[in-house]
Amino acid sequence: MDDERNLSGYRGKQENISELKIEPGLETVEYVYSGNAEVVRYHTDELTALCPKTGLPDFYHLEIEYIPDKLLIELKSLKLYLTGYRNVGIFYEHLAMKIFQDIKEKIEPKWLKITLRAAKRGGIGAEIVVDSNKL
């Protein structure tokens, strides 16, 4: 009964997140040094999404690290893609995994790591790390 009462405010708010299509989508650029193992790192503090419970904005620091195979992420499209989350109600953990899956599907890197740090809320900070070597 207690579990039912605690979860009732969230029920149905995340069930379709894995199928969510953020527009505009990510675009790619050919990686002409395929076969090498350089690590590409992008980071931004300009990622926001909405708390699915309260509807209030959450603010994030996002780091994307990957070893490209044949494709790179085109950066303007990455910025527009991330802006697409501005009005999406999504939990931290789901946001990190969704970004990870979208990038992995689009560029098929040799290795990919996403680190999402949420601004503190109620004195509690959160850091979610998704690493293809750990899945």
The per-residue pLDDT for range 62-94, each reduced to its tens digit, is 999 999 999 999 999 999 999 999 999 999 999
Domain limits of the chain? 2-131
Which amino acid is it at 96? A
The answer to whether residues 12 and 51 touch, using CB atoms and an 8 Å cutoff, is no
DSSP, collapsed to helix, strand or coil, labels residue 42 as strand
58 is catalytic: yes
Instruction: Given the residues 2, 3, 45, 51, select the one marked as catalytic.
Output: 51
Helix (H, G, I), strand (E, B) or coil at 34: strand
pLDDT (tens digit, 9 = 90+) per residue, 9-52?
A: 556 667 778 888 999 999 999 999 988 889 999 999 999 999 98
2-131: what CATH class? alpha beta
Q: Which of 58, 69, 102, 131 is catalytic?
A: 58
pLDDT at 11: 61
d(CA 114, CA 73): 14
